[in-house]
Each structure stands twice: as C-alpha cells, then as structure tokens.
Amino acid sequence: MEIITQLNDDEMCIELRGRLDAAWSNSVNKAFQDVVHGGCHRIALDLSHVTYLSSSGIRVLVILTKNLKAMGGYFRLIGSSPTVTEVLKLVGFEQLFDTFSKTESIDKSVVNYQRNIMSNTVKIAENDYEVYILNENAVQQGWVKNKVSPVLDDGINKAVVIPIHADTWVIGQGVLGSTNINAEYSGELLAVSGLAIALPGNDPAHPDWIQQEAELLPAVALYHGLKVTGKFRYLLRFGEIPETPPIRLSELALAALEICGSDTVSWVVVAETAHLIGAAAQVSAERYPDDFFDFPAIRNHLLFTAEPAYRDHTCLIIGVIARNPNFPLANQLRPLATGSEFFIHAHAGVVPFSPIHKGYIQLSESLEKLMVSQILRGVLHLLNDDREGVGAGESFLRRGALWCAPVDFKG
C-alpha cells in the first residue's frame, strides 16, 4: 500500500494505492489520525488506485467519516476504482460520503459549520488568533479564599462549598461534593460551568470528576483558591491553520491579557496538547506540614512532571493572569517567569486526545464532549520550570479555544 498526502489550503488530499485490507488498515488509520492530530479536519480521499477493499478497510473509513463530521469537518471521496465503487455501493457506504469529482470545486457554504458570529484575525507577538466578541462589556467578579492563619482554628483550614453554575469557575485545593466532605480527599481542583475535576490528595493515582446531569448540579468544597463568576468577553481560537507550531501557555495567557486590555484576566482553555508541565499535591490541603516546600521533604508532598508529560492529549485549563497583583490575589499567583511582572495561577485536567471543533464553539458544548471518553488522565497545577540548564520548561498547546474576560477580585 502506498499512501500519498498533499495539503491544499485547509484540505488534506490523501491518495491510496494498493489493497486496503487487514494488513494495511492500521497503517491507513494511523495516516488519517496523523492528519487530524496535525490540525486538518477536512480530508479528500482518492481510491482510484485501490484494487481491493475489505471489511477492515471499510471500518476505518466509517469511523473517520463519522468523527470528522462530529467535529465539524468532512471526508469527501474524489475518486474510486470500479472495484471499490461496487463495494461501497453494496454496503451503503456512499451515503456517508460527500462525493465530488476531482475538478469540481466545493461550495464553501455547504461545508461551513461555523456559527453566524463575526470574528477578526489578530496577531499578537508571533501568533495569529481568531477573535470572537461574546459579551462586549463583560467584567467578571473574583473572590480569593486564602489559607487560614496557623494560629486560628488550631491551624485547620475550613472549606467553603461552591455550586458550579454555568457562569462560575473555581481552581485551588478542594474536594468534590457539598455533603459528607472528607478533608483527607482534598487536592488539586478545577471546575467550570457544570464540570468539576479533582485529584484526591490521599489518592493521586485516581483523579475524579462530576458533571452536570439533568437536575444534578456539581458543587465543590474549596479550602483555598480562586472563584470567578460572570460571562466571558471574548473567545480566541488559536492553531487552527494545519501544521501551525505549538504555542506556549504563557503566550496564550499574555494574549488574553492584551485582548481584554486589563491588568487581571480570567481565562478557560480547551485545547489539544503538545505537552504539559506541572505539579500536583500528594497530601491533603486540610493541614499542610510546616516543611511543605522544604527540600527534600517537598518530594513527598508534590508530584512533579520532571519532563514534558501528556503529549497529544486534550485538556481543560482554568487560570488567572495579572500584572503585579495586589493582596489578597497575590497570595494565589506565582511569577510567569523568573523576574516577570506577570503572575499566573492555572490548573489543568487531562483526557485522551479528542480534536477540538474549529471556528466558533460554546464552552458548555465543549465541556460536554470533553468527558465523553469517561477517562481522566490527570490533574496538574501548571508551572513554568525555567531553572537554567535543568528546568523542564512550560506547557505547549497545539490548537484550541480560549475564553477570557477582565476580572475584579476581592478577598
């Protein structure tokens, strides 16, 4: 089997030559998946030189066709040999294809899956963003839950229960649920718009989540961290052009800051990963030991990604970036880089790879699709490990969507 690919604008042309049977179906499937991982969701397939098509080959075509349509792309057949044509007709597969001749141009209106919302292309630093205005004057409200003083309440940190409504997000240290709260389970936490994800401090091998279902509204118990409410002002799309290099998390955060024209910005990202860098607490947030950040004790308190992790996954990231923040927000943020005037706090939940729909998308719909696999790979507090010579660097994302808005914080 020979597999020939050629990118034409945002459509990948794939020509197969030989037998598409059990011996080659995995190789062809990998070629298709590589195209999708590369950011191309529009595929034109030429089977003119395929001499045989088996059931295993048909299955590969069926799965890819359905997946591409589900993510707003398409899979069109631009040619097939008489043998393949007859097989596709017999199995009724032709109905799944958008078929065109090689010389026939595609009516862009037929494959326009983008909502009727205007956008502008903006270049910030070296990156291009498609910017959608969602709520032009939106400003969110933030609240800081800091740890208690060790001389109060016997050093016990009390949790605050927060329902995760459509316009609410939370990051910090906490636990899922609003009743029967067990502080021993508290750990890294992120929640937004009906989805809550946590990594139990006493069981970091088993991240857990709860998602809104019918009348069930998730809630979390927050020991310390950030809560933000309100609507987002902008949606930024990045990396949508196939083969665009991955973008640094810090570049995304700074782009949100610039687009919003504010010193403090809240943001939520759903994206495909190049890799992530971060850490996660392995002890309960109820009572951190005095030597939590001391070396070597910190090795027992935190899980580190000593090298890039979660390559080619999909993630949900929630964060805040601020320029020279004041108390109490400053207690929850860390410098974007050594000596930087920008400070950040961001948590990530990671799931198996699932391509992000291009163009305008809604956060609620994206979150519903995020947990379709029912698998949660991990939870991280994202970091920029910029130690000279030994640091692992920072997180990189390939493509995705970022919702952002200015935010005013109070203690």
Residue pLDDT, tens place only, 173-201: 999 988 778 788 889 999 999 999 999 88
pLDDT at 411: 62
pLDDT classification of 282: cutoffs 50, 70, 90: low
pTM over 0.85: no
Residues 88 and 174 reside in one and the same domain:
no
Range from 21-35, 100-114, 116-130, 142-156 carrying the lowest mean pLDDT: 100-114
Q: What angle do CA 265, 267, 273 make, to 5 degrees?
A: 135
pLDDT at 33: 81
Residues 214 and 92 reside in one and the same domain:
no
Residues 83 and 163 reside in one and the same domain:
no
Residues 144 and 76 reside in one and the same domain:
no
Residues 290 and 373 reside in one and the same domain:
yes
270 vs 249: CA distance, rounded Å: 12
- Containing 229, the helix (H) or strand (E) segment is strand 219-229
Range from 33-42, 63-72, 112-121, 137-146 carrying the lowest mean pLDDT: 112-121
Q: Using an 8 Å Cβ cutoff, are 122 and 387 in contact?
A: no
Residues 255 and 340 reside in one and the same domain:
yes
**How does the average pLDDT of the chain come out, rounded?**
85
383 vs 209: CA distance, rounded Å: 22
Nearest to 394, CA basis, from 196, 254, 250: 250
Residues 76 and 175 reside in one and the same domain:
no
180 vs 66: CA distance, rounded Å: 43
pLDDT at 180: 74
Nearest to 276, CA basis, from 125, 141, 383: 383
Return the higher-pLDDT residue of 306 and 241. Answer: 241
Answer with the one of 35, 64, 99 that is the final residue of a domain: 99
Range from 64-78, 146-160, 388-402 carrying the lowest mean pLDDT: 146-160
Q: Give the model confidence (pLDDT) of 139-165 as tens digits.
A: 999 999 987 543 334 445 589 999 999
Domain hosting 404: range is: 119-410
257 vs 323: CA distance, rounded Å: 9
3-state helix, strand, coil split of the chain in percent (to 5) is 20, 40, 40
Q: Give the model confidence (pLDDT) of 347-384 as tens digits.
A: 999 999 988 888 999 999 999 889 887 889 999 999 99
- Containing 236, the helix (H) or strand (E) segment is strand 234-238
Average pLDDT, integer, range 33-59? 85
Residues 147 and 216 reside in one and the same domain:
yes
pLDDT classification of 95: cutoffs 50, 70, 90: low
Answer with the one of 65, 99, 133 that is the final residue of a domain: 99
For the chain, give the percent of residues with pLDDT over 90: 50
Average pLDDT, integer, range 113-132? 83
Residues 193 and 326 reside in one and the same domain:
yes
- As a dihedral over the C-alpha atoms of residue 12, residue 13, residue 19, residue 23, rounded to 10 degrees, the angle is -10
pLDDT at 360: 94
Q: Using an 8 Å Cβ cutoff, are 298 and 318 in contact?
A: no
pLDDT at 300: 54
Kindly state the DSSP code that residue 393 receives in the 8-state scheme: B
Provide the domain count of the chain. 2
C-alpha count within 13 angstroms, C-beta hemisphere, residue 267: 34
pLDDT at 19: 86
Joined together, the tokens standing for residue 276 give 């992530």
Residues 129 and 25 reside in one and the same domain:
no
* Residue 108 belongs to a domain: no
Helices assigned H by DSSP within 38-171: 55-70, 82-91
pLDDT at 155: 46
Q: How many CB atoms lie within 10 A of CB 184?
A: 14
pLDDT at 367: 94
Strand partners, 42: 74
pLDDT classification of 39: cutoffs 50, 70, 90: confident
* Residue 110 belongs to a domain: no
Cα R_g (the chain), whole angstroms:
24
Q: Give the model confidence (pLDDT) of 297-327 as tens digits.
A: 444 556 777 789 999 999 999 999 999 999 9
Residues 149 and 275 reside in one and the same domain:
yes
Task: Read off the CATH number of the domain in which 10 is found.
Answer: 3.30.750.24
